[in-house]
Amino acid sequence: MGELIQMYWAEILLGLMAFIKIVVNITPTKTDNTVFGWFDILINAIVSDRRKKRKDAKEDAKKA
């Protein structure tokens, strides 16, 4: 079970975030939307940084 979580942690996190976003959008308060927005920005900052590194690595590999 531990190996499964280690292997698919990103997919599990994405699914959990999607579920949380649905619950947050259903609730009538704006406070939880703001908190989730901050968390979403944090995750996007981490993930987009990795995407950029992968894209740069692929472009470098094509040039070589």
Question: What average pLDDT does the chain have?
Answer: 78
Which tens digit of pLDDT belongs to each residue from 16-39?
Answer: 888 888 888 888 888 888 888 888
Give residue 57's pLDDT. 66
Greater pLDDT, 56 or 45: 45
Give residue 15's pLDDT. 87
* Residue-range definition of the domain harbouring residue 26: 2-63
Region 4-25: mean pLDDT is 84
3-state secondary structure of 10: helix
Domain count, the chain: 1
For 12-53, the DSSP string reads HHHHHHHHHHHHHHHSS-SHHHHHHHHHHHHHHHHHHHHHHH
